[in-house]
């Protein structure tokens, strides 16, 4: 049945000889526009559904992330704490000087007292400047 209609359509096209190419182009554009407009509503609706689904699942994911973030924090904290508590201690001596420099500082009389006084002075200066900064209006 369908091939009969196509044959009739083809005969109608080939039987016309007085029309210009532009006429047939305009007919083709009209048919393409009509067929395209048949799918326009479907494509637009399908696109809206996909966009809404993406928005919905992204928000659901953010809600679950927000709900489970305290649990995730506690888990990571406990895991890191237990890992570092049972690990072998590392050497915390980050200032490793050659023996020549150590002998130079050991040659200074009362070097440990000088270091202690400098540390206390630095602590006092930092404390006073912090109090002055916090007491400003």
The pair of three-digit structure tokens given for residue 22, joined into one six-digit string: 């532009």
pLDDT tens-digit series, residues 71-98: 999 999 999 999 999 988 877 777 778 8
DSSP state letters, 91-122? P-------HHHHHHHHHSTTHHHHHHHHHHHH
Q: Kindly report the pTM of this predicted structure.
A: 0.39
From CA 116, how far away is CA 33, in angstroms rounded? 89
- The reply to whether 24 and 85 lie within a common domain is yes
pLDDT tens-digit series, residues 9-47: 666 766 666 666 677 777 777 777 777 777 888 888 999
Predicted pLDDT of residue 1? 47
3-state helix, strand, coil in the chain (%, to 5): 80, 0, 20
- The reply to whether 136 and 97 lie within a common domain is yes
CB 111 within 8 A of CB 105: yes
- The reply to whether 5 and 66 lie within a common domain is yes
Q: Identify the domain containing residue 133 by its residue range.
A: 93-137
């Amino acid at each position: 049945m369908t091939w009969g209609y196509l044959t009739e359509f083809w005969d109608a096209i080939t039987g016309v000889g007085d029309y210009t190419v532009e006429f047939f182009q305009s007919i083709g554009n009209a048919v393409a526009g009509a067929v395209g407009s048949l799918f326009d509503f479907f494509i637009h609706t399908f696109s809206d559904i996909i966009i809404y689904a993406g928005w919905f699942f992204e928000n659901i994911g953010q809600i679950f992330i927000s709900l489970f973030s305290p649990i995730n924090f506690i888990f990571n904290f406990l895991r890191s704490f237990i890992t570092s508590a049972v690990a072998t201690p590392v050497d915390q001596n980050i200032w490793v000087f050659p023996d020549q420099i150590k002998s130079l500082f050991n040659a200074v009389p009362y070097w440990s007292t000088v270091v202690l006084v400098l540390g206390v002075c630095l602590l006092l200066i930092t404390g006073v400047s912090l109090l002055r900064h916090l007491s400003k209006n």
